[in-house]
């Protein structure tokens, strides 16, 4: 991964290094917006996932390079302190907007006015120019960031994380399409933002293609991974002993939110196909599913357990509730392979985390996963979502157990280039560019 942020070019040519003449003015303090999910929530629960990890790790690393970060998020229970120090230089502000409990992400657009009011109240207590820049995450935050940036005269940097048009183009069977209101909201943000941060060159291309983003305003910054937490440590055998997993088992792991988009059902169906073909494997396969229902998966929280029973593999599947980051790292170390059959991933942070822990990945060839996984070296990319294709790759690991270690070693080396320090430095460069553009009064969007 390049040590520099790259500017995206629509021509398809390799991204050029972004050079900023006189680029020296970094922000001192950034207002970061995360309306629908709190950085204090545990990933894998509710709407908390990779974006939570992204915001927490990025904010900490920005603070380490002397950029203070204040993260505004919606209060989801009564009695929360108005402010929580997440780390030195990183403050989380809880904003009252709507009832604490029982609000789905889909209900939140109606609360954006109340959330914006809370953000403005916090700002009103400070001197002018207190926040140098607004960095919003996901479209709900972008709507608030648009108004805040205009009101404060501060540049807006926005990260989509996922996009409605892209998700709707590759929906899982039975999943709910994203509403037109979200498409309209995202289009407005793309026009309003001074800079857009994309996780990969493909996501940058999607912003240009689907939302008519100005290619000159789109920067590619790969997310990072906490390399202190996610590392091979004392190895697979020790992790399996701690988790009560058999030493000689084939352990294909699913880790993430349980919803159609993430496609955990594809892994279960693939295991059923594999065991039909190779019944002797039943005695030495364990399939952990680590995570909780989320999104449209909340409508049928027990659907995956019922599917395992229907497929006749309930005896080999182990359902685990979401776990903290340290425990998750142990699950990665214990697994033979992480399986990510997602229909869409803007990046697929979990894939890098697993590889950093020394575990290869089988992933759908979608979104950012071809950047995260080196096909044939650190894991395998699978075209489509046919369970038999995943079963074929699982059979490779069953028949050639040495692949787990050789690919796992290569995966750990590959992940070293995805440190958060690199991502934070590149993000700071994007901030600098946004501030410079605003100071030169050059319009950064069209009409």
Estimate to the nearest angstrom the gap between the alpha carbon of 336 and the chain centroid: 23
- Count of CB atoms situated within 10 Å of the CB of 343: 20
**What is the predicted pLDDT for the residue at 414?**
96
Q: 3-class SS at 157?
A: strand
pLDDT above 60 (res 97):
yes
Q: Does the pLDDT at position 232 exceed 60? A: yes
d(CA 380, CA 374): 7
- Compute the distance between CA of residue 191 and CA of residue 128 in angstroms, rounded to an integer: 25
Give binding residues for Mg(2+) as ranges: 332-333, 335, 359
Residue 378 in this model has a pLDDT that exceeds 90 = yes
Give 128-150 pLDDT, tens digit per residue. 899 999 999 999 999 999 999 99
Lowest mean pLDDT among 169-173, 198-202, 303-307, 326-330: 169-173
Nearest residue to 211 via CA among 188, 195, 193 = 188
Rounded to two decimals, the pTM is 0.81
For residue 255, what are the contacts with CB-CB under 8 A and spacing of at least 6? 44, 290, 291, 328, 331, 332, 338, 350, 354
Residues annotated in a binding site:
36, 42-43, 47-52, 105, 138, 162, 182, 257, 262, 323, 332-333, 335, 345, 353, 359
**Binding-site annotation: residue ranges for UDP-N-acetyl-alpha-D-glucosamine:** 42-43, 50, 257, 262, 323, 345, 353
pLDDT score of 61: 96
Annotated binding residues for 1D-myo-inositol 3-phosphate, as ranges? 36, 47-52, 105, 138, 162, 182
Give per-residue burial for 233-247: e unless 16+ CB within 10 Å, then b.
eeebeebbeebebee
Model confidence over 388-437: pLDDT tens digits? 999 999 999 999 999 999 999 999 999 999 989 999 999 999 999 999 98
Residues constituting the chain = 447
**Where does the pLDDT of residue 24 fall: very low under 50, low under 70, confident under 90, or very high at 90 and above?**
low
pLDDT in tens, 176-196: 899 999 999 999 999 999 999
- Dist CA 128 CA 266 (whole Å): 53
Predicted local confidence at residue 4, as pLDDT: 38
Q: Which of 42, 418, 360, 432 is nearest to 199 (CA)?
A: 418
Query: Mean per-residue pLDDT for 245-267?
Result: 93
50-59, 258-267, 426-435: range with highest mean pLDDT? 426-435
Cα 419–Cα 422–Cα 424 angle in degrees, nearest 5:
105
CA separation for the pair 106, 295 (Å, rounded): 9
């Amino acid at each position: 991964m390049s040590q520099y942020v790259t500017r995206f070019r629509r021509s398809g040519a390799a991204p050029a290094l972004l050079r900023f003449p006189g680029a020296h003015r970094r922000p001192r303090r950034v207002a970061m917006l995360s309306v629908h999910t709190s950085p204090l929530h545990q990933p894998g629960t509710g709407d908390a996932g990779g974006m939570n990890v992204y915001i927490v790790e990025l904010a900490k690393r920005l603070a380490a390079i002397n950029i203070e970060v204040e993260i505004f998020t919606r209060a989801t229970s009564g009695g929360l302190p108005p402010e929580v120090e997440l780390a030195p230089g990183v403050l989380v502000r809880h904003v009252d907007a709507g009832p604490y409990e029982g609000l789905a992400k889909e209900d939140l657009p109606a609360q954006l006015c109340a959330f914006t009011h809370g953000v403005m109240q916090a700002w009103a207590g400070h001197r002018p120019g207190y926040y140098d820049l607004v960095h919003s995450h996901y479209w709900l935050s972008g709507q608030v960031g648009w108004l805040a940036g205009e009101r404060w005269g501060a540049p807006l940097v926005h990260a989509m994380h996922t996009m409605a048009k892209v998700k709707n183009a590759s929906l899982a069977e039975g999943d709910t399409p994203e509403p037109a209101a979200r498409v309209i909201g995202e289009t407005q943000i793309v026009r309003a933002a001074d800079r857009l941060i994309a996780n990969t060159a493909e996501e940058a291309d999607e912003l240009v293609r689907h939302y008519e983003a100005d290619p000159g305003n789109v920067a590619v910054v790969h997310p990072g991974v906490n390399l202190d937490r996610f590392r091979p440590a004392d190895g697979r055998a020790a992790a399996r002993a701690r988790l009560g997993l058999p030493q000689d088992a084939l352990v294909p792991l699913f880790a993430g939110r349980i919803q159609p988009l993430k496609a955990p059902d594809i892994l279960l169906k693939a295991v059923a196909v594999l065991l039909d073909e190779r019944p002797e494997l039943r005695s030495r396969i364990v399939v952990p599913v680590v995570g909780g229902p989320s999104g449209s998966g909340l409508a049928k929280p027990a659907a995956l357990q019922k599917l395992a029973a229907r497929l006749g593999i309930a005896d080999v599947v182990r359902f685990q509730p979401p776990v903290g980051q340290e425990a998750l790292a142990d699950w990665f170390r214990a697994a033979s392979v992480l399986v990510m059959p997602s229909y869409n991933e803007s990046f697929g942070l979990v894939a890098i985390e697993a590889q950093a822990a020394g575990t290869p990945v089988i992933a759908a060839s979608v979104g950012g996963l071809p950047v995260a996984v080196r096909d044939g070296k650190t894991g395998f990319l699978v075209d489509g979502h046919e369970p038999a294709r995943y079963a074929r790759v699982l059979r490779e690991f069953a028949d050639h157990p040495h692949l787990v270690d050789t690919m796992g070693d290569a995966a750990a080396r590959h992940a070293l280039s995805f440190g958060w320090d690199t991502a934070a430095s590149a993000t700071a460069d994007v901030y600098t560019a946004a501030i410079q553009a605003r100071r030169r009064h050059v319009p950064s969007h069209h009409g």
